Homo-oligomer: A and B are copies of this chain.
Amino acid sequence: MAAASNFYSIVAGVGAGTGRSVAIKFAQTYPVALLARNPANYESIVKEINAAGGKAIGISTDVSSESSMKNAFAEIQKEFKGKNLAAAVYNVGGKFVRKPFLELSLEEYEAGYEANGKGFFLFAQAVLPGLLSSVPTSPHPPSLIITGATASLRGGANMSSFASGKFALRATGQSLAREFGPQGVHVAHAIIDGVIDIPRTKDWPVNGGVEGGKISADAIADSYWYLHTQPRSHFTQELDVRPYVEKF
């Protein structure tokens, strides 16, 4: 754990799965700010990191609210004054709605975009100036890493809410990769194609319940760290991950 780094990192969308593993992974090198709507989602992680000699703060944030995001980033700037931003991870799932199209309310349909379109826009605008200013000094290229899903590539029946949000997220991520890559910021998009192995999915009968049939959140964290440490002569924009037994 590395409380004393000159750099820090931010993870938006923290809970018991990918966000937790990513936070702990990045906290080994950088102090980390964790954003989640519900403090219960980050409190134990913040404790865990700080207890292990790292540095973490948690901020209750609604990523799709301009004012909430403004407050969160003001707090981050205060807490990490004098440090530069090395990595930002957008791992917001949002409300997952799966139902027949004609039964969707507008609010349900928009939930996908709120979390993955609007929320990512606000997050990216907040972190990119910091990432850009770290380009000359950061040990690894400053990185903006985005969590996608199967639905980033495919709109399925009853999936228009989630898929429209994830497609919008991918579109924006690609746009940023093409705009900010040449400026030295690494924008990468990971397509998480499978169920993540977390407490909530413990009893889900995924892939016949076989060992390794759900994605290890720690392995996702390793992949995000690997992406972050790629040199700028070798940026990955997109990669997929799935369990070895997953149909695709």
Contact = CB atoms under 8 A, between A and B. Distances in A.
A179 interface: yes
Nearest to A158: B179
Copy count, this protein chain: 4
Given A155-B172, A168-B171, A181-B245, 19 more contacts: A66-B106, A101-B125, A102-B128, A109-B118, A110-B118, A121-B160, A141-B244, A155-B171, A155-B173, A155-B175, A164-B168, A167-B171, A181-B244, A212-B233, A219-B233, A232-B244, A235-B243, A236-B241, A239-B240
Nearest to A232: B244
Contacts of A246: 181
5 contacts: A155-B172, A168-B171, A181-B245, A212-B231, A237-B242
Given A179-B158, A234-B215, A121 B106 contact: yes
Given A106-B66, A154-B174, A171-B166, A234 B223 contact: yes
Contacts of A181: 244-246
A15 interface: no
Interface of A: 66, 100-102, 104, 106, 109-110, 113, 117-118, 121-122, 124-125, 128-129, 141, 151, 154-160, 163-182, 184, 186, 197, 212-216, 219-220, 222-223, 226, 230-246, 248
Contacts of A213: 233
Given A101-B128, A159-B175, A172-B155, A239 B242 contact: no
Contact of A241 (B158, B159, B197, B234): B234
A235 B241 contact: yes
B163 A172 contact: yes
Contacts of A179: 100-101, 157-158
A164 B231 CA distance: 28
Most interface-central of A154, A177, A214, A239 (chain B CB within 10 A): A239
Contacts of A212: 231-233
B151 A171 contact: yes
A245 B182 contact: yes
Given A184-B244, A243-B232, A125 B154 contact: no
B165 A168 contact: yes
A201 to B, nearest CB: 12
Contacts of A237: 240, 242, 248
